[in-house]
Structure 1
Amino acid sequence: MTALPGPRPSGESDFAALFTPKLVTALREGYTLEKFRADAVAGLTVAIVALPLAMAIAVASGVGPERGLFTAIVAGFLISALGGSRFQIGGPTAAFIVVVFNVVERVGYQGLVLATLMAGVILVVVGFLRLGTYIKYIPYPVVTGFTAGIAVSIGASQLKDALGLDAAMPGDFVAKMETIAGHIGEARPATVAITVLSMALILVLRRFRPHWPGFLIAVVLGSLAVTLLGLDSATIGSRFGGVPSMLPAPTLPAFDLATLRAVTPDALTIALLAGIESLLSAVIADGMTGRRHRSNCELVAQGVANVASAMFGGISATGAIARTATNIRSGARTPVAGMLHAAFLLAFMLVAAPVLAYVPLATLAAILLVVAWNISEIHHIHKIMTTGGNGDRFVLAGTFLLTVGVDLTVGIGFGVVVAAVLFMHRMAESVAIEHHDRLFDEDVADRPGEHEDLAVPPKDVVVYRIRGPFFFGATQQVGSVLERIGDPPRLFALDFSGVPFVDSTAATALQSFAGKAARRGTRVAIAGASTQVRAELERFGVRPPEVSYVADVEAALAE
């Protein structure tokens, strides 16, 4: 294989630099036979891991196992081919199980297809608007809380197949647990044995043979046990009739305005979850390899992949953290590894589709129970609950409980809003208002000589220094200090040299104060404001003649 041309031309636009897939970048660097061999080994390794996982996720999501394979093949190929991460592996993930199950239960599979299409379009728009950068600002306790909530929900969703129950499972967590408790006496011993032995096998192999494909080995041995011993345990064939050996033709769902409105919240949830998980996976890959991903390009690829997945009979897709890590550890060099992983999955489906009908659902449930434990973030929860502040603990606990008990979107929304309010409170508390180096001290004018870095101000001059961001959270604190001034001075000087930014609320409050001061005959001078801060203040009316802008406090006193 010959090397392709080298680096990107220097004249390429910023837009092209931001949205050029990593595949193109890798090929420009030169793609050799050695790299292809490494990518092929990694792609095959990931495909072996992804085969049982894709089917398990689809079954847990309330759809047929083939839809998980369609997703892994179509979306997995496109995410690697178009994405902004060199090592990202895409496909169905456990985080989507609860969301997809609830959508299918409420509006059916065609409603899910429409929601996934809409989510794909949303992701493309978000990517091209370059909003991907802001997803990283979701606080750590929120991510930990909703991830743990998803893990608990996944574990609960697998109890039916793990125990071999025939009862219909509701989507609500509490109702689901009540149903399981009411039918626990109907558990099938053979199914429970398959579940326990499959989990034990996976965990033992992970401990002593971590490089062996534990999921696939469990599926093979579980299938042989159920088939050869005639055990009473449901299989893919008994419940779904098997797996097709070809991809379906692409189609678009029929929909009406009512259905569109009904699935819009689901589309937003899918887009949000896909964006968060894909970028989190890309960040982890960067940490493992020292590379840097292109977040907005990655979101565009995720959007295109979800649209294509829905058209080919799949479900929602995103970057898969565990499979991406496996890809890196297996020696992947370029996005070709992810594309080959999809090709290998297609080959497996074409060749082994009849055999997949013998896979026991109990083994797939065992796989997802292990996955749920892996993503539960127990060590992260312990760290936050033992070393974090009360605010972080409250955010984590609230996000977790709402994710499990109500809805993923509600949980994330609660966490982000509360975390933002707590952050603004901390920022407001960090703002210092100094009067001659003493906080909240208005009588320095009566004690001349305390302010050593300035000439001694006259008694009819008041000087304040504000340090920190002057935003709406700090407005009340600053305003209360300003309003405590007694007799109106001749000059009121505000030292803004330590203010990095100001927002509209604070600027409006300052404009109101300056107007009152002017009516009382007090001149207001703003000293040391940066160009950006001054422009923002002037935009909201803090301008002459009510105020004057000077270089520093000394200049204000000299006027």
Structure 2
Amino acid sequence: MSSLNALAREWLAQPRADILAGIVVALALIPEAIGFSIIAGVDPKIGLYASVSIAIVVAFTGGRPAMISAATAAVAVVVIPLVREHGVEYLFAATVLMGLLQIAAGLLRLDLLMQFVSRSVITGFVNALAILIFTAQLPQLTHVGWQTYAMVAAGLAIIYGLPRWTKTVPSPLVAIIVLTAFSIATDAPVNTVGGMGKLPEGLPSFAFPHVPLTLETLRIILPYSLTMAAVGLLESMLTAQIVDDMTGTESDKRRECAGQGGANIVAALFGGMAGCAMIGQSVINVTSGGRGRLSTFTAGAFLLFLLAVLGPLVGRIPMPALVAVMIMVSIGTFSWNSLPNLRRHPLTSSIVMVSTVVVVVATHDLAKGVVVGVLLSGIFFAGKVRRMFRVERRETPDGRSATYYVTGQIFFASVDRFAHAFQSEREATKITIDVSAAHFWDISGVGALDKIVARLRRDGREVEVIGNNQASADLLDKFALFDKTGVEMGLTPR
């Protein structure tokens, strides 16, 4: 009964709002899918059919309701050499294998790697994507007449002005309808969707990729499939987190991994290219009122209806209307609070955020920016923990005994300071190392303690290590060359 309630909540909690939001997304998907097909070097119908298939399937299989998945630039740029050198059928085969790898990633719980992506990286990812979304509109705003600028301004006025009077219908949908009607009625000299590429006619058909089932084929497609799977999952997991934050709800990221894989397999079998979650369209969906799986399904189903039935009318949609929607998405996606936070937040967090933005914008590769951000976060975290480490020496009045009180985390980044604290020991004959306020994290820390004990004993000192917590004691018992009572194993005092 609870599962039925959850199913109804995800699909039918607000059908009207989800359907209207899905329609807006479907219209916004068309120029994106065509553009990504051009990037990959394939016919526009391959990107459009992919968007239809992925959106419909992931509505059922995905783990994040209201998130939009379709053909994306992040994946399209990966397959350019494959399409150029081997043809589109190898693209379909690589997409099938990509889907299988993503399903395996879900089974192996690779979604847990998202725990290592800091908030600064996510903020940088969002800001970079907002910048890329805006810059992607610039070709439609250069070398055009004043009519284009006037229509973009009118579209933005409707998008931001209409909600002051009513929120019954998503304002981006109203903007697209009004500007399309105006463009057709006046025959305005502006770019249209049809000018971006030929729209397909009819429905996609089912077919297996026409490639030889040999190890040579696997050798060709495997590197591309691995890269597409990794990039697709990275962007999908980050987008899922952003939608989580926007809606105040949680998502099943393990299910999302496997769901993305299933959707890509279906897309390839129906003549589509690979894809993943799209933050821009997901933001359009959420800001238009979409919250359930029905919004994602509607986006794919209505896109199919548009292509199969209303193709000629869709081709006459003016690009300024869609540019206005995407500018709204860019403005809404950017984390404006992050600008004053550059001064308020720790310097390291700001460096991570800015570095992520710079790398993504410079390379147009979201994966590279996130990897740089994660690496910097790890380096800064290790440095911070390293600075929190200290060793204090106290000796008895006669100077014959000394106790070293170790505080902090002992791991690969702090072992040098740990060892250096004992370098000047020359007087005491009995040394006690108290680690009750410390924690050993790895074999680097264990090895450093081994070397310290070994050196002191070779100098004729009596050494005892006390105060291990249970986790550190387990690590030392397994890897250290001495026991907790100071009885050496394999090392003999000189």
Separation of aligned partners in 1, 2:187 and 2:294: 42
- Contact kept in structure 1, 2:418 and 2:448, CA below 8 Å: no
RMSD: 3.4
Query: Aligned in 2, Cα 1:261/1:123: closer, same or farther, shift over 3 Å?
Result: closer
SS state of the match for residue 136, structure 1? helix
Match of 1:181 in 2: none
SS state of the match for residue 120, structure 2? helix
1:485 equivalenced with 2:425 (yes/no): yes
Q: Which has the higher contact order (CA 8 A, sep 6+)?
A: 2
Shift of 1:293: 3.2
1:432 equivalenced with 2:385 (yes/no): no
Separation of aligned partners in 2, 1:510 and 1:373: 54
Q: Deviations over 1:201-259 (max 9, x none)?
A: 22323555444222222222222222221222232234423343423435437567456
Unaligned ranges ≥5, structure 1? 1-5, 8-25, 164-185, 436-443, 449-457, 550-559
Count of residues paired in the alignment: 472
Match of 1:92 in 2: 70
Shift of 1:431: 2.0
Shift of 1:533: 1.2
1:325 equivalenced with 2:286 (yes/no): yes
User: What amino acid is the match of 1:61?
Assistant: F
Q: Deviations over 1:170-193 (max 9, x none)?
A: xxxxxxxxxxxxxxxx32333333
SS state of the match for residue 492, structure 1? strand
Separation of aligned partners in 2, 1:517 and 1:547: 12
Unaligned ranges ≥5, structure 2? 212-216, 489-494
Match of 2:123 in 1: 144
Q: Deviations over 1:362-419 (max 9, x none)?
A: 3222222221222222222x14312112212222222211111123333222211111
Q: Give the alignment of 1:213-224 within 5 angstroms.
A: 213-224=170-181
Match of 1:43 in 2: 18
1:128 equivalenced with 2:107 (yes/no): yes
SS state of the match for residue 13, structure 2? helix
- Contact kept in structure 2, 1:524 and 1:547, CA below 8 Å: yes
Match of 2:414 in 1: 474
Shift of 1:505: 1.1
Q: Give the alignment of 1:509-528 within 5 angstroms.
A: 509-528=448-467
Q: Deviations over 1:278-335 (max 9, x none)?
A: 34434554x2x4xx433222221122223323433154122654256358x5674xx4
Separation of aligned partners in 2, 1:92 and 1:76: 6
Q: Deviations over 1:441-469 (max 9, x none)?
A: xxx325x4xxxxxxxxx733222222322
Match of 1:445 in 2: 395
Query: Aligned in 2, Cα 1:256/1:153: closer, same or farther, shift over 3 Å?
Result: same
User: What amino acid is the match of 1:506?
Assistant: G
Shift of 1:103: 4.8
1:158 equivalenced with 2:137 (yes/no): yes
Query: Aligned in 2, Cα 1:518/1:130: closer, same or farther, shift over 3 Å?
Result: same
Separation of aligned partners in 1, 2:171 and 2:47: 19
Query: Aligned in 2, Cα 1:499/1:134: closer, same or farther, shift over 3 Å?
Result: farther
Separation of aligned partners in 1, 2:121 and 2:10: 39
Separation of aligned partners in 1, 2:460 and 2:199: 87
Separation of aligned partners in 1, 2:323 and 2:198: 18
Separation of aligned partners in 2, 1:310 and 1:206: 40
Separation of aligned partners in 2, 1:113 and 1:209: 45
- Counting aligned pairs with the same residue, the percent is 19
Separation of aligned partners in 2, 1:38 and 1:116: 34
- Contact kept in structure 2, 1:215 and 1:367, CA below 8 Å: yes
1:74 equivalenced with 2:36 (yes/no): no
Match of 2:327 in 1: 369
- Contact kept in structure 2, 1:98 and 1:150, CA below 8 Å: no
- Contact kept in structure 1, 2:306 and 2:314, CA below 8 Å: no
Match of 1:277 in 2: 239
Query: Aligned in 2, Cα 1:309/1:383: closer, same or farther, shift over 3 Å?
Result: farther
Separation of aligned partners in 2, 1:210 and 1:129: 43
Match of 1:394 in 2: 351
Separation of aligned partners in 1, 2:20 and 2:34: 23
SS state of the match for residue 543, structure 1? coil
Separation of aligned partners in 2, 1:241 and 1:218: 24
Separation of aligned partners in 2, 1:399 and 1:532: 35
Q: Deviations over 1:416-450 (max 9, x none)?
A: 11111111010111123233xxxxxxxx325x4xx
Match of 1:247 in 2: 204
User: What amino acid is the match of 1:50?
Assistant: V
Query: Aligned in 2, Cα 1:263/1:133: closer, same or farther, shift over 3 Å?
Result: closer
User: What amino acid is the match of 2:53?
Assistant: V
- How high is the TM-score relative to the length of structure 2? 0.83
Match of 1:316 in 2: 275
SS state of the match for residue 187, structure 1? coil
Match of 2:36 in 1: 61
- Contact kept in structure 2, 1:73 and 1:343, CA below 8 Å: yes
- Contact kept in structure 1, 2:101 and 2:226, CA below 8 Å: no
Match of 2:153 in 1: 196
Match of 1:356 in 2: 314
SS state of the match for residue 410, structure 2? coil
